[in-house]
Amino acid sequence: MVSALNKSIKFAGVKGPLVTIVMDGVGIAPNGAANAVAAAHTPTLDRVMKEYPMVTLKAHGTAVGLPSDDDMGNSEVGHNALGAGQVFAQGAKLVSNSIESGKMFTSDTWVNLLANVKNNQSTLHFIGLFSDGNVHSHIDHLKAMITRAKEEGAPRVRIHILIDGRDVGETSALDYILPFEEFLGTLRAPDFDVKIASGGGRMKVTMDRYEADWSMVERGWQTHVLGEGRQFASAEEAVVTYRQELGVIDQDLPPFVIAEDARPVGTVEDGDSVIFYNFRGDRAIEISRAFDGGEEFTAFDRVRVPQVCYAGMLEYDGDLHIPAHYLVNPPEITETQSEYLVASGVSQLAISETQKYGHVTYFWNGNRSGKFSETLETYIEIPSDVVPFEQRPWMKCAEITDRLIECLESGKYQYLRVNFPNGDMVGHTGNFLATECSMEALDLQLARILQVVDRLHGVALITADHGNADEMYEVDKKTKEPKVGKDGKMKAKTSHTLNPVPFIIYDNFYRDLYTVKEDKGAFGLSNVAATTVRFLGFEPPAAWDESLID
């Protein structure tokens, strides 16, 4: 437990409410043909960026705990940094370090998984996102584990690939599948049988989150575990066939099963071991519950529940202990903003729709489920629509704003935080016009919120967790122009960007009581927490990164 924060002797804090607005996926990029944020009609955002103090924040790479500055940020690590006030080593880095040091392979979980398949002469299965996007997983981690499994005498390995096209190029699947098949070919031996067994696009099978669409997980179970679905001779054949028949991008590829002589090559059976190798937790929890849930699991009919040894790459939920077994210990994120504010008696609200509800709660609180205080904290989840985001790009931003305004006007909360998912979730579709529309919908809500903030003599801190909507096409690094494919069309980009994000201080009442620090490009998302508590009239903890105001 932390102690109450010390009151500031410099700035007594705002008299009205303080609200942090996270525009998910809205980065700062040049005004080019790829920038849907700039293309959108956003008079409110344009005005506050021009008329109010703004500092740019790093939201990727080492600034959010990832291995290198070539690694794009994501909503999870972004909200960890926003809520923690300091940078912790994150999933990809933790896993890489554990593999390189050999610590993973000496863990009790790994030892038990391998002993199980060797003793039973059974199969070791790997399920996870199949790319080097380094947001949910990395293919190098998968390769290292398969190689180690062979060295340790596992008789048989099957891989169930969740095709990306979201954190990497939208049609890059074969760029991973073909070299991987060559890699497997170098490992095969009379005493080591290794094959891809099933797969499907990440937005069609297995990787649902926040219980938004359990049918995705059910399709994954049917595909990976039961071996039910359309059969192909190889993953390459599946991808090529679906593209020709359906014209979909990789993340939307339907499920497929690899078969020989009309029999699936890799169903999950009693006595097998299963590793879900994603290191990011949000889209790993539901499939882990399906494997670990026992008879109490009721989300869908699993038909057949094989008795297996199951493990995740990390513990995806530390409070609920999902899964029961994991290979790498997650970062221990301590001294979070929410915990300090509760200790200081500050009433708080966290609100978003389902798609980002976990980010303003679980991830903001350092990967912690539940509240620090039932009396001082209120969490509100607005149920997301289960429709393709490009078909309803405004998502639930108006409903979120309705509830947020009610809470502002209630006078119950000193500090409120809200996430609008539009720029990220719609940006991931690669649909420029839909993303432009999503930004315009968000801008309407900003106008509504800021009017109420002014009326209540409050302050709004407007920021983002990473970029996405700011770069909707693949951009040539030299020319800064969108890349054009062989078909003459600009190539859509569905992944996050490496661009900085804004931090805007919307304040019409207290600006003479503090000074905004000079923006030298050195600040990151972790500087927001200290800034927040200063606006609430407190001194930030010594362990946190510095405030953006003096």
- CA 377 vs. chain centroid, Å, equals 24
Cis amide linkage into residue 323, ω under 30° from 0: yes
What would the two tokens of residue 444 be?
């309407």
Task: Give, for 18, the enclosing helix (H) or strand (E).
Answer: strand 18-23
Cα separation, 464 vs 37, whole angstroms: 13
Taking CA 335 as the corner, what is the angle to CA 413 and CA 79, rounded to the nearest 5 degrees?
A: 65
Q: Which of 3, 8, 68, 75 is catalytic?
A: 75
Output phi, psi for 503, to 5 deg.
Answer: -135, 105
Angle between helices 528-535 and 75-84 (to 10 degrees): 40
458 in Cβ contact with 410 (< 8 Å): no
Task: Give, for 415, the enclosing helix (H) or strand (E).
Answer: strand 415-420
Any catalytic annotation for residue 122? no
- On the CB side of 454, CA atoms within 13 Å amount to 8
Output phi, psi for 312, to 5 deg.
Answer: -100, 170
**Looking at this protein, which amino acid is placed at residue 193?**
D
Sign, CA dihedral 240-243-248-253, equals negative
470 in Cβ contact with 27 (< 8 Å): yes
* Residue bearing tokens 């790997």: 126
What would the two tokens of residue 220 be?
């994954």
What is residue 282's DSSP assignment? T
Cα–Cα distances in angstroms (integers) from residue 198 to residues 81, 302, 304, 332, 427, in the given order? 36, 17, 17, 34, 28
Q: Residue ranges of the alpha helices (H) in 385-430?
A: 397-410, 422-425
Which residues are the active-site residues?
75
